[in-house]
Structure 1
Amino acid sequence: MSPPPFRAEQIGSLLRPPLLLDLRRQVDAGRLPIEKLHEAEEAAIRDAVALQESVGFKTVTDGEFRRRSYHSYFFGELGDVKPDYVEDTSGDAPGKRGHQPMAVINSRVQWTHPIHVDDYRNLAKLSTALPKITIPGPCALHFRGGDKAVLKTAYKDVDQFWDDIVTAFRTELQALADAGCTYVQMDETAFAKFGDPEVQATLASRGDDWRTLIDSYIAITNKVLTGLPPQLRIGMHLCRGNRGGQHHAEGGYDVVAEKLFNQLAIDFFYLEYDSPRAGGFSPLRHVPKGKSIVLGLVSTKSGSLETTEVLKQRIEEAAKLVDLDRLAISPQCGFASVDTGNPLSMTEQEAKMRLVVDVAKDVWQDA
């Protein structure tokens, strides 16, 4: 398992310090210049990198501290585009199914400048660990609105939308590679949600067959990935929603596994596996030789700490289907996919991060 991925991985986002959230609210209200927020973000990122190093991770992220959510900033830099519009959050609560955010596409998607190159460069200056940049997947906008959202305002042709998406993502990834970045995590939640009957019904109600979307999304993602510099390692993270301890879908990887692992031009996957909602390990039998799996066994949705024994047992179970030397461990998702974070404390977050590293060291000699 030539890293990345590493035996112990951190998925991306970290809980924001309360001061950072307060400063952002003041900026939004016009009571504080944005430069003050940027200064605070830089200080918080230094602390986040130091935390990841002290825990023992061999790769670090910036905690996504400059973003309101894991994907909103990226898409917002591509035009008048919003991937996470939520009309009604009434009834949403930790541990429950939350309302699925929807996409609003008011302009064509267009890459005009590097989006995360400065984030990579700043990270590289802060740590000797390998910087990892996290970006959303190219199919997120379409999954959250379908052809109707694409054609409502900005486009008359869905094929033109996909061409714009592919161009924008390829250009950003090339810009990151040109800057020296060698590690990118692509957060594409759609594939993990296709196994949920409720999601399937929602897609059907707007005229989409989920089986067809699987093929389309694999084809689009492969267009993005084909021909990129070989030194750029790209893994795909899959989960079923992670907003304030809520989820957006349930069901295993069974319906997508064979195509996902064998047809998608991705060498390693970070898979959510922290609860029964994710199903069992059986779909891992489709993982071909040469591809690796990072098992997201530690939940970020609550502060309850898993035990070393149970985590090691689960790794042993997965190793019956994928060789142990092609496995790793991580939290199931980020700790704050949106800036308000999940319902756990900073202390609980650190304990979970340390648990991931400690288990990895127990299981793999090269951790």
Structure 2
Amino acid sequence: MDMTNLHYDIVGSFLRPTSLKAARADFAAGKVSLYELREVENREIADLVEKEISAGLKVVTDGEFRRSYWHLDTFWGFDGIAHTTQKQGYLFHDEETRKDSAQINGKIRFAGDHPDLEAFKFLRNLTKGKGVTPRQSIPAPAQCYAELVRGEENIAAVQKYYSSEEELLTDLAQAYHDLILALYDVGCRDVKLDDCTWGMVVDDDFWATMVKQGFKREDLEEKYLQVNNAALQDLPADLRISTHICRGNYHSTWAAKGGYAPVADYVFAKENVAAFYLEFDDERSGGFEPLAKVPADKEVVLGLVTSKKPELEKEADLQARIKQASQYHDLDHLALSTQCGFASTEEGNQLTETQEWAKINLVEKTAKDIWK
């Protein structure tokens, strides 16, 4: 699906229905079987897809209803990566997340089966003959690398199995490349890489601390770009690869702040994707000037409508901001979406399902009014 013709989109995750949350809690407590949990997931995903189609969306997702996290579940699906917990979760602006992590316990590889692959097959079957494109979102390779070196215990695990970071990055990129090709082989033509690593890199306060520990911003940017692009080499021409970049989205709070200028020369100018889905819903995101670094033939999907708050934006304000953005990237290659999904983790953001769909309807209406 060419978003330059459509000009509106979603990022992917939806608020989890009450019945799904209850089923996951019951499964964790041993009250229902995995089969019974899957039946609830299947039913709720089928219902969501029908809602997406009825709402006029042309690219649809499964709402990430099978996941606990937007990123960790994918990591755990690779051989050589284990589900672990740490002493501390991710620190957001005013909240700490659950403490789950991913840690190396062998050489990383895609073994031929993966939960994201099975999830996509179900979504594909739901959308056959419906005139829509099923999309699979996965966390970026850079995001996986960042998790594998988060904290002393994870770093020690890396050093146990890998003699160099170069070897680690090579295996990680290959595992991702193999997963993407497996998705393609079962019919996927739209893969989005969700990536918060760049959102952390732009935060000057975060980097003031990192510099004291001996890190260099440019070194990390090179590493993130290297592993992402290595995973995206030699893919089929009819596979649309995009990336979504934000600064954290957990229970309506955020993790980082700062404009895109510090990373524009890397990710905007050089990452081998067709489109960038970018967070621009408040002042933490900075201005539109860095969009000038995006190649003219690539799409920029402006995340101007917040998924964090229930209040509905005004269309006139959105139109004005899109006009501002068009000073730095051609209007024909712009599109509109929410700044992130509505439930990056199963907790979800603090708004109702009705408010969620009102946001999506506003995105569609605004896009149709601008790009008639």
Q: TM-score, normalised by structure 1?
A: 0.92
Quickly say closer, same or farther: Cα 1:361–1:192, change in 2 above 3 A. same
Output one character per residue of 1:53-109: Cα deviation in whole Å (capped at 9) or x when no partner.
1211110000000000111211111146368956446996xx746569784414132
Output one character per residue of 1:318-363: Cα deviation in whole Å (capped at 9) or x when no partner.
0111111000001100100000101111111010011111111111
Report the Cα distance in structure 2 between the residues aligned to 1:126 and 1:322, rounded to whole angstroms. Answer: 36
SS at match of 2:243: strand
Q: Which residue of 1 aligns with 2:49?
A: 49
Return 124-133 or 2-11, whichever deviates more: 2-11
User: 1:164-203 residue pairs with structure 2 within 5 A?
Assistant: 164-203=171-210
Report the Cα distance in structure 1 between the residues aligned to 2:324 and 2:291, rounded to whole angstroms. Answer: 11
Q: TM-score, normalised by structure 2?
A: 0.91
Does the Cα contact within 8 Å between 1:86 and 1:99 map onto a contact in 2? no
Quickly say closer, same or farther: Cα 1:256–1:90, change in 2 above 3 A. closer
C-alpha displacement of 1:197? 1.8
Report the Cα distance in structure 2 between the residues aligned to 1:90 and 1:225, rounded to whole angstroms. Answer: 28
Report the Cα distance in structure 2 between the residues aligned to 1:273 and 1:84, rounded to whole angstroms. Answer: 33
Output one character per residue of 1:283-320: Cα deviation in whole Å (capped at 9) or x when no partner.
11112211110000111111111111111111111011
Q: Which residue of 1 aligns with 2:36?
A: 36
SS at match of 2:141: coil
Does the Cα contact within 8 Å between 2:79 and 2:111 map onto a contact in 1? no
User: 1:130-169 residue pairs with structure 2 within 5 A?
Assistant: 130-144=133-147, 146=149, 148=152, 151-154=155-158, 155-157=161-163, 158-169=165-176
Does the Cα contact within 8 Å between 2:49 and 2:61 map onto a contact in 1? yes
| Unaligned segments of structure 1, at least 5 residues | none
Does the Cα contact within 8 Å between 1:253 and 1:279 map onto a contact in 2? yes
Quickly say closer, same or farther: Cα 1:26–1:56, change in 2 above 3 A. same
SS at match of 2:261: coil
Report the Cα distance in structure 2 between the residues aligned to 1:105 and 1:52, rounded to whole angstroms. Answer: 36
User: 1:124-273 residue pairs with structure 2 within 5 A?
Assistant: 124-127=124-127, 128=130, 129-144=132-147, 146=149, 148=152, 151-154=155-158, 155-157=161-163, 158-204=165-211, 206-273=213-280
SS at match of 1:255: helix
SS at match of 1:81: strand
Aligned length: 363
User: Which letter maps to 1:338?
Assistant: T
Quickly say closer, same or farther: Cα 1:84–1:61, change in 2 above 3 A. farther
Does the Cα contact within 8 Å between 1:5 and 1:268 map onto a contact in 2? no
SS at match of 2:105: coil
Does the Cα contact within 8 Å between 1:98 and 1:246 map onto a contact in 2? no
Quickly say closer, same or farther: Cα 1:76–1:27, change in 2 above 3 A. same
Does the Cα contact within 8 Å between 1:81 and 1:105 map onto a contact in 2? yes
Report the Cα distance in structure 2 between the residues aligned to 1:13 and 1:70, rounded to whole angstroms. Answer: 8
2:357 to 330, 344, 350: 350
Report the Cα distance in structure 2 between the residues aligned to 1:37 and 1:202, rounded to whole angstroms. Answer: 43
Report the Cα distance in structure 2 between the residues aligned to 1:277 and 1:252, rounded to whole angstroms. Answer: 7
Quickly say closer, same or farther: Cα 1:149–1:104, change in 2 above 3 A. farther
Aligned identity (percent) is 33
SS at match of 1:200: helix
Quickly say closer, same or farther: Cα 1:50–1:38, change in 2 above 3 A. same
Q: Which residue of 2 aligns with 1:290?
A: 297
Does the Cα contact within 8 Å between 2:306 and 2:338 map onto a contact in 1? yes
Does the Cα contact within 8 Å between 1:86 and 1:100 map onto a contact in 2? no
Output one character per residue of 1:181-218: Cα deviation in whole Å (capped at 9) or x when no partner.
11011001111221112221343355432221101111
Does the Cα contact within 8 Å between 1:146 and 1:206 map onto a contact in 2? no
Q: Which residue of 2 aligns with 1:64?
A: 64
C-alpha displacement of 1:160? 2.3
Return 15-24 or 257-266, whichever deviates more: 257-266
User: 1:282-321 residue pairs with structure 2 within 5 A?
Assistant: 282-321=289-328
Cα RMSD after superposing both structures: 2.4
